[in-house]
Structure 1
Amino acid sequence: MHGPEYTRDTASLFKLPAIKKKEDFSSTLTKNHFFIMGHLVTVATCSLNQWALDIVGNQARILDSIRQAKEKRASLRIGPELEITGYGCLDHFLENDLCLHSWESLAEILDNELCNDMLIDIGMPVKHRNVLYNCRVISYNKKIALIRPKLALANDGNYYEMRYFSPWKGERIVEDFYLPRCITKVTGQEKVRIGDALVSTRDTCMGTETCEELFTPRAPNIGAGLDGCEIFSNSSGSHHELRKLDTRIDLIREATLKSGGIYLYANQQGCDGDRLYYDGCAMIIINGQIVAQGSQFSLADVEVVVATVDLEEVRSYRFAKSRAIQATQQPSYERIEVPMSLSSDEEEFNPFLKPSVPREVRFHSPEEEIALGPACFLWDYLRRSKQGGYFIPLSGGIDSCATSMIVFSMCRLVYHDIVEDKNKQVIKELRQIAGESSTSTWVPGSPQEVCGRVFHSAYMGMKTNSSTETRSRAKDLAKEIGSYHCDFDIDTVVTAITTLFTTVTKFVPKYKMHGGSNSSNLALQNIQARTRMVLSYLFAQLLPSVRGRNAKNPENTNPGSLLVLGSANVDESLRGYLTKYDCSSADINPIGGISKTDLKRFILYAADAFSMPLLHSFIDAPPTAELEPISADYVQSDEVDMGMTYNELSVFGNLRKRDHLGPYGMWSKLMHIWGDHLSPSQVYEKVRRFHYFYGINRHKATTLTPSLHCEQYGTDDNRYDMRPFLYPSLDWAWRKIEKAVKDMGDRGTRDPEKTEVDERKKTA
């Protein structure tokens, strides 16, 4: 505890009443209703929908979160990682301008009256001795108390923090930092401490972590907790991934389960300009129990989560003798003293102020995550790109169906926010997207009406190759969700292109079923797919004008194009089962990081949750590209063409990316996974087939449409999955496997299922 040991210098630094004598301190506290032994603390964390490089908008959202926290009587507010600049600035972090603008923005925040009488934790990049650090800046009453740099940087998967930042020098290392003049003008300070230190108030001690530090084996909260730190904050930029939230929550709970403490978790929320969706879910935990949890998916730009916690519960929790012994051996942290109390004098006047009670953790199922995460991402992408809506080539298959249902889920969220939550920001942005004038009072009457204004679809068929079933499914789905739908055939365009080729070369390409070669068969399929891509962009650019967008809003000189949506799932991208620059080449792909298996589950979920039984027809239909002619005894099949099932592709994808296995390691593990129904030689054939097609199609991954990251085995070559695009034959691995199979003798080629039948016959 810290009481009358506070000095006159510290008090004057933070503009508190001067204390001339040591004994005057307690009387000053009594006069101002401060209690040294206060133990109920109201704290606030938040999820902010920040946008990379949007310094003005980011500052407004930070101040709004501080205002909301203050209205809820919180004395401590923490925010997400790098909230002043936005997390996803990427190589812009290498520009000195960004550091300069961060300090300028922080100066305005500190000088704002909203920030008085509250301990505030804000994230921004800071350059110290010409080295850039990812930092938290902790302030109180227009004074900076501490700059705390990040010790452990995220540098794998989607993250490349060490490209821009350096990790801090080490645990408990603290130095002087000389402040820029724009800060000095506001705070009167010339230097502050920077490093791994703690902040002491009159009634407790606070420490900070930043995102990745929570995930490290020796997280900073361990040592800080042993040194008496009672409140931990974690400011994060953690992205959404299917089934990831439970891992994050387990780590946060564990941070306080062993030795107690109060843990505040803040996170970025929304699309900040890149391929990630940050899924919020700000939380407050005490001694392993969650007492407050924010939403994981939301259209709100600012969400503040507040709880009242009891410091005495932490102190009681820490009575274990084993913890006390380790605490006596813990090296001390430097403590920066801030002369304020997080606990309030309201304890004297408000006997009804009570600690927040523990609550059940709220999780979404993976199907709900698909319905909500990509939908929120699409809304952010649409409103921030300032375009007129979305366009999709609707094939009647499950992938374009799933993409369309995600857009419809977005429309449902938008409608709910407008009608139920009265979100003025959402209705304002929807009117702008829909081309309404600035004086419009239009309010949608249903999610379908929202969809009809912002979503456009087209079935582009071939008379010989497209079935009436797929055409009907596409038309019925468009009608059910309310999209503006077009239905036409592209035969004349494809014929014109092939006729031109024949005129020039005197060669007539034919489908394989008509006697053509594999090359001719593939070329005729590809020209259809690429024609659909060209037509998609033509319709996307002109449909707003066709629909009279300018007529509704004469002041709008730009009717706004539509953003083209791709619909290639992660398994097709992994296998390369798509045409390069076909209709999967689009502006954004909401399902490019989702497996076919999960998409099917999502469609089944949506059929019930959205009351759309027609979606079952998409599940029952066999997956087909419909690029070859249909006959009485032949319908093209995706899985036959690929030579493997979608379920097998999911397994290969996880083993390759998540488990980091090459061909031999894959074969060895699959012997255990598939050994009950495949022989070692059959497993080898499947592994070799996968790597053959993966290798020859790697060049396609370099041109994939940017997709929302949702799955651990995502194939995003430009950011997440860095591999060569020109592969040799992997002969060394194949020889090693072939030798192992040969050494097994009959066991290497014996069919397990046939062997089991034979054994049963012998027993009988």
Structure 2
Amino acid sequence: MGHLVTLATCSLNQWALDFEGNCERIIESIRQAKAAGATLRVGPELEITGYGCLDAFIEGDTFLHSWEMLAKIIDHPDCQDIVVDVGMPVRHRNVRYNCRVIFFNRKIILIRPKMWLANDGNYREMRHFTPWQRPREIEDYYLEQIVGKITGQYKVPFGDAVISTRDTCLGLETCEELFTPNGPHIPYGLAGVEIISNSSGSHHELRKLDTRINLITQATKLSGGIYLYANQQGCDGDRLYYDGCAMIVVNGNIVAQGSQFSLNDVEVVTATVDIEEVRTYRSSVSRSLQASRQTPFVRLDLDFRLSRTGEEADPGLAPSEILEPRYHAPEEEIALGPACWLWDYLRRSGAAGYFVPLSGGIDSCATAIIVHSMCREVVKAVQQGNEQVIKDVRRLCAEPEGSAWLPSTSQEVCNRIFHTNYMGTQNSSKETRERAKTLATDIGSYHIDFNFDTVVTAITNLFTVVTNFQPKFKVHGGSFAENQALQNIQARLRMVLAYLFAQMLPTVRQRPGGGGLLVLGSSNVDECLRGYLTKYDASSADLNPIGSISKVDLKKFIHWAQTAFSLPILHEFLHATPTAELEPITQTYVQSDEADMGVTYAELSVFGQLRKVAKLGPWSMYERLLHVWGHELSPREVYEKTRHFFYTYSINRHKMTVLTPSYHAEGYSPEDNRHDLRQFLCTLPLARCPLPVAPSFFRP
């Protein structure tokens, strides 16, 4: 028999600044790890505070409460006789660090600061923390009294070191360090470290899990080793959803993998591994030559065995079998990620439910289907006996204290917490109204239907009385400005009416507590990128679950949901022409989104990827698109499309400053708040002519 060791990693649904709750979930994960026979437990990044505290990391209270919770964890009787790795912020010599604290039996072994910080896209770690710039160096950290009284320590090691037990060696990475070109796992492996842990706060993005798994398996495939990956899971109060998927990898092979989307607050993943397999895997000559030249790390001794030998060994214990990695299709990711995010937000916000204006189009349909998916996941968790979900769903569904009620279908949950409506005008069609009503019936939402032409007329009459001018639609001979103004009146009134009904419907339905509904938006990422929305119209809401998902992906999602959720009505949404229905319908004219925008949704997805992900300006994008679209379009046509995109993108940037907070799902979200940090005032001459004079080979 080799050196068998049972290891545990976990995904925790931590809330930003919920110190007591986070502490309890950490302790529970340690209990579960010990119950599975694990001798090492690894947790997510900054798990004591929650990852998304943002500028609260600058406040002294955050550090104070972190040490209070660490003291509670270290001293807890259930946290003994196991090596524990927890994440928290630490101030050392008046510098803030994102740290891991490793302890065993009321003794801190090492405080290990993060060396490479995430500082692009959604992350601003350099605003809150400083990276540790001295690899393979440690110094003394003078311990806070509240913890020192428990551990009996005055100072502990702080810095980049590894931990040697009686039988193996442990090294630590933190999130971004896995993604860097020369991550710590490379020198760790060459220096003889056999177990590497990684605590992460990695968010969900469509198709991202494949990249993450490739990096994790590659981290041990070249040089061998055991890799424990822990991750935050859930919404901790912001636009990101941390998608868990904790895993354990041995020599490039997955032996344990947790769920990617779950309503569980605590999920512990364990595996039994043989350290001898690492040593055999590392016997190649080329690896040994490089390892012999590796600069050594400071090794901190821990007088403890992670493996069970002799009388302690379980004769039935065997190494965990190799698993095939589990992936969700992008359509499933859209169904599950935003759904779990919405559930977390709802149960923590104190609201009575969600409200969605259904237009009969595919975007609001997608938002409604995501809420339907949320209700399905809730019922599934109830059937699995998830006590936290049972408690939350009874409270949100306004069941009295002590009630034994449990939902048996998603429609039961949906009817209590999800409210939809159709707001029609004389410009609305019978088809969109019927689609909205049928969808609401099929998913079980509480649905209302009304026209508000009298309100629109009252507003336009007021304008006419004051100015003695009556604006007309384009089809009635009106100017562009008149046509836009009349459309915007309808759009903005829908926002006002949505908030009125969202606030009052719980009262109308005699729901106790008096909490209102959260309004959900339905603008997709392509419309936001192009600016094809009215400021403060129905796109303005409390949350937007599809705000960074492209129209192309939304259509694929609806096509998938038609079968997966048994909703045949979705076929009609898929084949309907996208329209805002803000202009009169005539025998010769029906408003179309793509005609209004002057570009197709498929083309907008390409522009979005090139603008944000590929970081291309007007001229470089034009040159790239010559290769992408050159077989279909002439150079002049490519030029005109590129110029049109940058013009509309520029003049509409101001709308991004008030964009509804959106679930982050794509790498090219144009949201001004955190992901696309560009100026919102673009000078008109540049906006009108963003490209140089057309080259001579252009033809009209």
- Report the TM range for the smaller structure's normalisation: over 0.9
Partner residue in 2 for 1:676: 631
Q: Are the structure 2 counterparts of residues 453 and 291 from structure 1 closer, same or farther at C-alpha, using a change threshold of 3 Å? A: same
Which residue of structure 1 lines up, in the alignment, with residue 671 of structure 2? 716
Mapped to 2, the partners of 1:622 and 1:145 lie a distance apart of: 63
Alignment match, 1:749: 699
Change (3 A) 1:220 1:476: same
Query: Closer, same or farther in 2 for the Cα pair 1:69/1:629, shift >3 Å?
Result: same
Q: Specify the alignment match of 2:433 in structure 1.
A: 471
Matched, 1:592 2:508: no
C-alpha deviation, 1:722, in angstroms: 0.4
Partner of 2:537: 582
Paired with 1:733 and 1:435, the residues of 2 have a C-alpha distance of 55
Q: Secondary structure at the match of 2:98?
A: strand
Q: Residue in 2 aligned with 1:628?
A: 583
1:735 to partner: Cα distance? 8.2
Query: Is the Cα contact below 8 Å between 1:684 and 1:737 reproduced in 2?
Result: no
State the Cα distance separating 1:730 from its structure 2 match.
Answer: 6.4
Per-residue CA deviation, residues 545-574 of structure 1 (Å, 9 max, x unaligned), is: 111113xxxxxxx32110000000000000
Question: Paired residue for 2:385?
Answer: 422
Which amino acid in structure 2 is aligned with residue 700 of structure 1? K
Task: Quote the Cα distance in structure 1 between the aligned partners of 2:25 and 2:612.
Answer: 37
Instruction: Report how many residues are paired.
Output: 700
Q: Residue 213 of structure 2 corresponds to which residue in structure 1?
A: 249
> Alignment partner of 2:693: what SS?
helix
Query: Is 1:136–1:149's contact at 8 Å kept on the other side of the alignment?
Result: yes
Aligned residue runs from structure 1 range 401-420, under 5 A: 401-419=365-383
TM-fit CA distance, 1:224: 1.1
Cα contact 1:701–1:715 (8 A) shared by 2: yes
> 2:187 maps to which residue?
223
1:439 maps onto 2:402 in alignment: yes
Deviation at 1:632, TM superposition (A): 1.6
Identity of matched residues, %:
65
SS in 1 for 2:432: helix
AA partner of residue 451 (structure 1): C
Residue type at the aligned position of 1:179: L
Q: In the alignment, which of 498, 509, 529 is matched to residue 491 of structure 2?
A: 529
1:158-307 map, 5 Å: 158-307=122-271
Shift, 1:350, TM fit? 2.7
> Partners of 2:279 and 2:407 in 1: how far apart?
53
Q: Deviation at 1:345?
A: 3.2
State the TM-score, normalized to the length of structure 1: 0.90
Paired position in structure 1 for 2:563: 608
Structure 2 residue identity aligned to 1:680: P
* CA shift in 2, pair 1:327/1:730, >3 Å: farther
Rounded to whole Å, the distance in 1 between the matches of 2:447 and 2:688 is: 51
**Residue in structure 2 matching 1:496, options 428, 449, 458:** 458
Once the two structures are superposed, residues 501-560 of structure 1 have per-residue CA deviations (whole angstroms, 9 ceiling, x without a partner) of 11111110110111111111101100101101001011001101111113xxxxxxx321
> Is the alpha carbon distance of 1:735 and 1:293 closer, same or farther for their aligned partners in structure 2, counting shifts above 3 Å?
closer
SS of the residue 2:305 aligns to: coil
1:613-692 aligned at under 5 Å gives the runs: 613-692=568-647
CA distance in 1, matches of 2:79, 2:20: 17
8 Å contact 1:40–1:347 — kept in the other structure? Answer: no
Q: What amino acid is aligned across from residue 699 of structure 2 in structure 1?
A: T
User: Structure 1 residue aligned with 2:445, among 454, 462, 483?
Assistant: 483
Aligned 8 A contact 2:2 2:274 in 1: no
Q: Match of 2:292?
A: 328
Bigger Cα displacement from structure 2, 628-637 vs 189-198: 628-637
User: Residue 618 of structure 2 contacts residue 690 of structure 2 at CA under 8 Å; is this kept in 1?
Assistant: no
Which of 86, 90, 107 is matched with 2:54 structurally? 90
Counterpart code for 1:68: Q
1:544 equivalent in structure 2 = 506
Letter in 1 for 2:105: N
Shift of 1:169: 2.2
CA distance in 1, matches of 2:311, 2:204: 39
Query: 1:349: Cα distance to partner?
Result: 5.0
2:28 to 27, 39, 64: 64
Q: Does the 8 Å CA contact 1:79/1:123 hold for their aligned counterparts?
A: yes
For normalisation by structure 2, the TM-score amounts to 0.99
Question: Aligned partners of 2:660, 2:690: CA distance in 1, in Å?
Answer: 36
1:430 is matched by which residue type in structure 2?
A: V
Residue identity in the other structure for 1:694:
Y
Q: Quote the offset at 1:739 in angstroms.
A: 4.2
Is residue 191–residue 291 contact of structure 2 (8 Å, CA) maintained in 1?
A: yes
Q: C-alpha distance in 2, partners of 1:123/1:348?
A: 30
Q: Does 1:373 align with 2:323?
A: no
Name the counterpart of 1:99: 63
Q: 1:269 to 1:347 in 2, by over 3 A?
A: farther
Q: 1: distance between equivalents of 2:184 and 2:620? A: 36
List structure 1 segments (4+ residues) > 4 angstroms apart after TM superposition: 346-349, 729-737
Which residue of 443, 464, 468 maps to 1:506? 468
Query: Is 2:477 aligned against 1:515?
Result: yes
Contact 1:435 1:559 in 2 (8 A): no
Shift of residue 731, structure 1, vs aligned partner: 5.0
Structure 1 residue aligned with 2:116: 152
| Contact 1:664–1:733 (Cα < 8 Å) also in 2 | no
* Cα displacement (A) at 1:733: 11
Map Cα deviations across residues 224-281 of structure 1 (whole Å, 9 max, x no partner). Answer: 1111000000000000000001001111011000010000000000000000000000
Residue 388 of structure 1 aligns with which residue? 352
In structure 2, what residue type is equivalent to 1:518? F
- Name 2:91's counterpart in structure 1: 127
Match of 1:110 among 56, 74, 97: 74
When the two chains are superposed, the root-mean-square deviation of aligned CA atoms in Å is 1.3
> Using the alignment, how far apart are the partners of 2:659 and 2:424 within structure 1?
24
Cα distance change of structure 1 residues 735 and 84 upon mapping to structure 2, 3 Å threshold: closer
Superposed displacement of residue 433, structure 1: 1.2
Q: Please list, as runs of the form range in 1=range in 2, the aligned pairs for 1:26-41 lying within 5 A after superposition.
A: 39-41=3-5
Out of 523, 544, 557, the position equivalent to 1:568 is 523
Distance 1:428 1:492 in 2: 44
The aligned residue for residue 455 of structure 1 is: 418
Deviation at 1:437, TM superposition (A): 1.5
Shift of 1:660: 0.3
Alpha-carbon distance between aligned partners in 2 of 1:183 and 1:540, rounded to the nearest angstrom: 48
Q: C-alpha offsets along residues 331-363 of structure 1, whole Å, 9 cap, x if unaligned? A: 110011111100013776532210001000000
Once residues 715 and 547 of structure 1 are traced to their aligned partners in structure 2, the CA distance between those partners, rounded to angstroms, is 38
Whether the 8 Å contact between 1:347 and 1:353 is mirrored in structure 2 is no
- Provide structure 2 residue ranges, at least 5 long, that are not aligned to the other structure: none
Q: Partners of 2:32 and 2:533 in 1: how far apart?
A: 49
Quick one: which of 700, 703, 706 aligns to 2:655? Answer: 700
Q: Do the aligned residues in 2 keep the contact of 1:663 with 1:733 (CA within 8 Å)?
A: no
Native 8 Å contact 2:45 2:51 kept in 1:
yes
Q: Is the Cα–Cα contact under 8 Å of residues 570 and 596 in structure 1 kept in the other structure?
A: yes
| Structure 2 letter corresponding to 1:457 | T
Question: Counterpart of 2:190 in structure 1: which amino acid?
Answer: L
